[in-house]
Structure 1
Amino acid sequence: MTVPGWALLSTHGLVLLSVVEKPEATTREIANDLGMSERSVQRVVSDLDTAGYIERRRVGRRNQYEVNNEKPLRHPVKEGRTVGDLLSGLVK
Structure 2
Amino acid sequence: MAGWTFLTNHAHVLLCVAANPEILLRDVATLVGVTERAAQRIVGELEEEGYLTRERVGRRNTYRLNPDRPLRHPLDRGHHIGELLDAFSRVEGARAAGARPEGAAAAPPAQSDAD
TM value normalised by structure 1: 0.88
Question: 1:15-43 CA distances to partner (integer Å, 9 max, x unpaired)?
Answer: 11000001101111211222321101001
| Mapping 1:58-73, distance limit 5 Å | 58-73=56-71
AA partner of residue 56 (structure 1): R
Tell me, in whole angstroms, the C-alpha distance in 2 between the residues paired with 1:17 and 1:28.
15
| Counterparts of 1:47 and 1:26, CA distance in 2 | 17
Separation in 1, partners of 2:50, 2:28: 19
- Cα distance between partner residues in 2 of 1:17 and 1:84: 10
Which residue number in structure 1 is paired with residue 22 of structure 2? 24
Structure 1 residue 78: Cα displacement: 1.9
Higher relative CO (Cα under 8 Å, sequence separation at least 6) belongs to 1
Distance 2:31 2:76 in 1: 29
The residue number in structure 1 matching 2:43 is: 45
Runs ≥4 in structure 1, deviation > 4 angstroms?
none
Q: Percent identity at matched positions?
A: 43
Superposed CA deviations along residues 36-59 of structure 1, whole A, max 9, x for unmatched, are 211010010001000111111111
* Number of residue-to-residue matches in the alignment: 90
Name the SS of the counterpart of 2:88 in structure 1.
coil
Higher Cα Rg, which structure: 2
Aligned-residue offset at 1:90: 1.0
Q: Deviations over 1:48-81 (max 9, x none)?
A: 0001111111111111111110111112222221
* Runs (5+) with no aligned partner, structure 2: 93-115
What TM-score do you get using the length of structure 2 for normalisation?
0.72
Q: Supply the distance in 1 between the matched residues of 2:40 and 2:71 (Cα, whole angstroms).
A: 21
Which residue number in structure 1 is paired with residue 12 of structure 2? 14
